[in-house]
Amino acid sequence: MMYKLQRFELVENLRNKGITDELFLNAMLNVEREKYIPSGVRPHAYKDIALPIGYEQTISQPYTIAIMTEALKLKRNEKVLEIGTGSGYQAALLYEMGAKVYSIERNMDIYNEVLKRFEKLGIRVHCKCGDGTLGWDAYAPFDKIIVTAGSPGVPDALKRQLAVNGRMVIPVGNKSSQTLKVLSKTSPDEFEIEEIPQFAFVPLIGRDGWK
């Protein structure tokens, strides 16, 4: 419990920055970020910064995670697809929020590590190792889709696999900077799109991402 106060302070900090989704803030109070990062960076677990998780990948800054998750407008029991499992921290937050979580990771080593972590921590997320730009047809449609790596565009498979009235959050841009696109699916082939500027994610690599 040594990180409990720091976790509380981080959540207060996010509130002060304008985050209001109580379901999310409450999940953030309960999920232990220090358990998702390498031991060397653990002292920084509750700073509002991105941290390295190995394999040239990063766990996003808490404020970025907050903006993305709040934009999903997630409700309990909704079905969510996450692309880029990474450390598993984002997936654990979604699970803690009461969602049915499906998550895809392309890197086999990261995938194997996160499976062990979820097992140990009792996080029940459906995981798959593969190219997330193709989505996960077997479980579509999804109420929400969250992509946690930067893409050159919105993959068609993800647009198709989003439920009508569903929402998707995806960073789109070049390799060094992206805007966060928030898509709401208003009919089988229509989307409303909002954009939140200035983010920097690691690249989404795949058939409908970066090659």
Strand stretches in the chain, DSSP E: 51-54, 57-59, 79-83, 100-105, 126-129, 142-147, 162-173, 178-187, 190-199
By CB under 6 A, is residue 104 in contact with ligand SAH? yes
**Site residues (CB under 6 A) for ligand SAH, limited to 126-185:** 131-133, 148-149
Quickly list H helices, 73-207: 89-96, 108-121, 156-161
Check residue 61 for interaction with ligand SAH (CB under 6 A). no
Is 60 an active-site residue? yes
List 172's β-bridge partners, or say none: 151, 179
CA distance 149 to 147: 6
Q: How far is the CB of 112 from ligand SAH (least distance, A)?
A: 12
Strands laid side by side in the 142-147 sheet: 126-129, 100-105, 79-83, 142-147, 162-173, 178-187, 190-199
With respect to ligand SAH, which residue has the nearer C-beta, 183 or 204? 204
Based on the shown chain and the rule CB under 6 A, indicate whether residue 105 belongs to the binding site for ligand SAH.
yes
Q: Which is nearer to ligand SAH, 38 or 43 (CB)?
A: 38
Q: Which is nearer to ligand SAH, 21 or 136 (CB)?
A: 136
Q: Would you tell me which residues interact with ligand SAH (CB under 6 A)?
A: 53, 57-60, 83-84, 86-87, 89-90, 104-107, 110, 131-133, 148-149, 202, 204-206, 209
